[in-house]
Amino acid sequence: MEQQPTIEYAKKARHGRGNDVVDDNNIRQVAGCLPIDPVNRRFLLISSSNKNKDNWVLPKGGWEDNETQAQAALRETWEEAGIKGRITRQLGIFEEATKKQIKAHHWIFELEIDEVCKKFPEKKKRERRWVSLERGVDDMKHLDGTLDGTLSYSSSFTIINSIPTTRLFW
């Protein structure tokens, strides 16, 4: 990445979709990060905010019209996971789709963790879970659909680069 994006680490999370970016086909644009702790050889997932708290997902959310994709990814990772760090590269754009329609495009970045904060905007809504790089996907029973494809592009996951990446369905 050329220049590291900066964000304000707000005490409250942004809510609502009024400022979300959509493409020419009215498809919502989402940004998020794969937070990696290279020292302890692990990555971080968070509990989903929906009814099924057993789903473990990447921190991600709506890309708003006053920020870049990378800024949105950093903001969402801060709000949902309490993680501060540096984006090392973009991992890809992944499609969230049902059998009938495309729901969103997910702009996912690899983030090297600098700080794991105790207090963060969605602390009361979310749990955090560390997953070892060595065991990766084998550790998880309920994975975010974006995760399979994301891991195969991450520089930390050379051991699972054989995972095929195709259209992702939720």
Residue 91: give its domain's CATH number. Answer: 3.90.79.10
- Characterize the bridge pairing of strands 56-57 and 102-116: unpaired
In a domain, 3, yes or no: no
Least reliable range by pLDDT among 18-22, 73-77, 127-131: 18-22
Sign of the CA dihedral with 158 first, then 160, 130, and 78 last: positive
In a domain, 2, yes or no: no
For the chain, the domain total comes to 1
More confident call, 109 vs 56 = 109
Q: What's the pTM?
A: 0.79
Question: Using one digit for the tens of pLDDT, what is the confidence trace for 144-153?
Answer: 555 555 555 5
In a domain, 8, yes or no: no
Q: Which whole number is the average pLDDT over 117-127?
A: 94
Q: Which two tokens stand for residue 86?
A: 């540096």
In a domain, 19, yes or no: no
